[in-house]
């Protein structure tokens, strides 16, 4: 069963997805797979995953067989699944729910089990970033999908249940709460000032340098002023654009370099912590005029990286109130 449910008190939706059918004791932490022959994402084991949706692969190699460089498949235990209909909103007493229509894909980043962003070639990272772009472009044609979210969980404490380098894509019939709040904040700032809040933010951070980690011709990496987590990092394009999927090939090359440097630095300087990164981009184009006029001028895509260094999250989970024990200025100084 997969269902979206709205909290009756707070304006927030939750995915109830019991595909994996876990019992209470199944929640204990699984030991990560280390052996190559048993890893379903390794080259040669293509038959052990659902069929591929998209790949970059060597010329002359066949679908669902070795020879790929980046490979996209449906998640075997999808949080959301697509069916041949519209998502129906339903009311039960004071509750609202919706069919769990959507997509959940896995982007296998490389055939190599032990390579990751820090030791992959720039060429391979470029292909990963191009794959992200392609999936955004393909899926944004489906009007039932309102938001496409690409993210990576690294390490068991980062939420990765398989060790083989991969990222994930979830396409949802609603806009996730934090993205909605960002869109709202960006819209309000634009309506008041006539400028993109992220563009102003970037200018201020480049000028002050206090929280600046890296600056290249096209990108900046900063630790945000109100960082919720120690060593939280945002990578933002200095040029204005609301949509990740509009990124050009040259910009992808620059981004690949920044991503590799930042993720290598995290590994080196923070002792290989688990981490997550999430691409924050505008909702699908249809949303631009229907719900918010000129969203392309108001929003600014970026990547948020959260190293998972702290366990003090229960209080935070319950209240949305974060205590960060490393100031972003200190984090930037260490990562610079």
Q: Considering only residues 229-268, where is the footprint of its own copies by CB under 8 A?
A: 229-231
To its own copies, the closest distance from the beta carbon of 67 in angstroms equals 31
Name which position in 324, 332, 333, 336 contacts its own copies (CB under 8 A): 324
The window from 52-60, 151-159, 235-243, 249-257 that contacts its own copies (CB under 8 A) reads: 151-159
- Among all chains, which residue has been given the structure tokens 């959301």? 80
Strand partners, 296: none
- Encoded one letter per residue, x for contact with its own copies by CB under 8 A and - for no contact, window 51-90 reads ----------------------------x-----------
Q: Which structure tokens are listed for 116?
A: 């990751």
The residue from 49, 177, 254, 264 that contacts its own copies (CB under 8 A) is 177
Q: Which is nearer to its own copies, 82 or 126 (CB)?
A: 82
CA distance 234 to 301: 10
212 in helix, strand or coil? strand
Residue 70 half-sphere exposure, CB side, CA atoms within 13 Å?
Answer: 26
- Least CB distance from residue 18 to its own copies, whole Å? 5
The nearest distance, CB 290 to its own copies, in angstroms, is 21
DSSP string for residues in 253-282: HHHHHHHHHHHHHHHHHTTS--EEEEEE-P
Euclidean distance between CA atoms 148 and 255, whole angstroms:
20
Nearest distance, CB of residue 253 and its own copies, angstroms: 25
- Is 278 a residue that touches its own copies (CB under 8 A)? yes
- Pick 197 or 256: Cβ nearer its own copies: 197
Exactly one of 10, 31, 88, 192 binds its own copies (CB under 8 A); that residue is 10
Rg (C-alpha) for the chain, rounded Å, is: 20
Of 56-64, 123-131, 287-295, 300-308, which segment contacts its own copies by CB under 8 A?
Answer: 300-308
- 90 with 123: CB under 8 angstroms? no
Binding flag, residue 312, its own copies (CB under 8 A): yes
| By the rule CB under 8 A, 130 interacts with its own copies | no
Site for its own copies in 195-224 (CB under 8 A): 197-198, 200-201, 204, 208, 224
Is 24 a binder of its own copies (CB under 8 A)? Answer: yes
Q: Which of 181, 249, 286, 291 binds its own copies (CB under 8 A)?
A: 181
27 touches its own copies by CB under 8 A = yes
Query: For the packed helices 177-193 and 197-208, what is the interaxial angle rounded to 10 degrees?
Result: 80
Segment near its own copies (CB under 8 A), from 47-55, 138-146, 225-233, 285-293? 225-233
Shorter beta-carbon distance to its own copies: residue 47 or 93: 93
Neighbours of 253 (CB within 10 A): 15
Opening angle at CA 201, ends 296 and 212, nearest 5: 125
287 belongs to the binding site for its own copies (CB under 8 A): no
Q: Does 309 bind its own copies (CB under 8 A)?
A: yes
Bridge partners of 50?
none
CA dist., res. 164 & res. 45, Å (int): 12
Q: Smallest Cα–Cα separation from 78: which of 148, 168, 179, 156?
A: 168
Distance CA 283, CA 52 (A): 25
Q: Determine the 3-state secondary structure of 175 from DSSP.
A: coil
């Amino acid at each position: 069963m997969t269902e979206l449910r709205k909290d009756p008190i707070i304006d927030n939706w939750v995915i109830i997805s019991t595909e994996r059918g876990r019992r209470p004791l199944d929640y204990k932490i699984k030991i990560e797979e280390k052996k190559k022959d048993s890893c379903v994402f390794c080259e040669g084991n293509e038959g052990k995953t659902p069929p591929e949706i998209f790949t970059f692969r060597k010329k002359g190699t066949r679908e669902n067989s070795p020879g790929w460089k980046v490979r996209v498949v449906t998640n075997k235990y999808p949080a959301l699944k697509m069916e041949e209909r519209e998502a129906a909103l339903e009311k039960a007493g004071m509750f609202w729910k919706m069919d769990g229509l959507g997509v959940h894909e896995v982007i296998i980043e490389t055939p190599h089990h032990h390579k990751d962003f820090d030791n992959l070639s720039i060429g391979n990272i470029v292909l990963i970033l191009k794959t992200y772009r392609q999936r955004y472009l393909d899926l944004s044609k489906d009007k039932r999908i309102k938001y496409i979210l690409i993210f990576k969980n690294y390490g068991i404490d980062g939420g990765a249940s398989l060790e083989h380098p991969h990222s994930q894509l979830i396409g949802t019939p609603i806009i996730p709460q934090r993205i909605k709040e960002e869109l709202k904040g960006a819209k309000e700032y634009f309506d008041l000032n006539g400028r993109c809040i992220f563009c102003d933010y970037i200018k201020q951070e480049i000028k002050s340098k206090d929280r600046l980690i890296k600056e290249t011709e096209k990108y900046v990496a900063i630790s945000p002023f109100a960082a919720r987590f120690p060593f939280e990092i945002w990578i933002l394009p200095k040029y204005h654009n609301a949509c990740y999927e509009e990124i050009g090939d040259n910009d992808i090359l620059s981004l690949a370099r920044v991503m590799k440097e930042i993720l290598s630095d995290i590994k080196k300087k923070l002792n290989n912590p688990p981490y997550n990164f999430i691409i924050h981009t505008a909702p699908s184009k249809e949303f631009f005029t229907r719900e918010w006029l000129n969203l392309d001028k108001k929003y600014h895509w970026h990547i948020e990286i959260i190293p998972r260094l702290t366990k003090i999250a229960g209080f935070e989970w319950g209240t949305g109130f974060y205590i960060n024990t490393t100031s972003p200025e200190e984090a930037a100084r260490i990562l610079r």
